[in-house]
């Protein structure tokens, strides 16, 4: 079995990883909303638990989106500083 992350380069968290996480959480949020509308969640959880899960997923998505925006600003800012210095 191959170990993931043997190479330190693969172990670093990238902006792409954050974007993928935010996108995945958005998709999960939408799937939970669809499940709530259809009512097919009732075997696994109560409606209150479903609403709580949806709120938690939404909060996590918001946090990852904020991280993506911060990282994007940090990568643009050094480039602008270099251009300003020339």
**Number of domains, the chain:** 1
Let me know if residue 77 belongs to a domain.
Answer: yes
Let me know if residue 47 belongs to a domain.
Answer: yes
Q: What are the backbone angles phi and psi of residue 27, rounded to the nearest 5°?
A: -65, -40
Render pLDDT for 35-80 as a digit per residue (tens, 0 to 9). Answer: 999 999 999 999 999 999 999 999 999 999 999 999 999 887 666 6
Render pLDDT for 68-84 as a digit per residue (tens, 0 to 9). Answer: 999 999 887 666 666 66
Question: Helix, strand or coil for residue 12?
Answer: coil
40-50: buried (b, 16+ CB within 10 Å) or exposed (e) per residue?
Answer: ebeeeeeeeeb
Let me know if residue 45 belongs to a domain.
Answer: yes
pTM given for the model:
0.73
Label each residue of 51-78 as H, E or C: HHHHHHHHHHHHHHHHHHHHHHHHHHHH
Let me know if residue 51 belongs to a domain.
Answer: yes
Let me know if residue 70 belongs to a domain.
Answer: yes
Let me know if residue 6 belongs to a domain.
Answer: no
Contact 60, 25 (CB under 8 A): yes
Helical pair 47-85 and 15-38, crossing angle rounded to 10 deg: 150
Let me know if residue 64 belongs to a domain.
Answer: yes
Let me know if residue 5 belongs to a domain.
Answer: no
Domain of residue 38, residue span = 29-85
């Amino acid at each position: 079995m191959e170990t993931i992350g043997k190479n330190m380069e693969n172990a670093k968290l990238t902006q792409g990883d954050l974007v993928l996480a935010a996108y995945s959480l958005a998709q999960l949020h939408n799937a939970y909303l669809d499940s709530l509308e259809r009512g097919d969640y009732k075997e696994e959880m109560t409606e209150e638990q479903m609403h709580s899960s949806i709120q938690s997923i939404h909060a996590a998505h918001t946090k990852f989106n904020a991280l993506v925006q911060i990282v994007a600003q940090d990568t643009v800012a050094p480039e602008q500083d270099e251009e300003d210095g020339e």
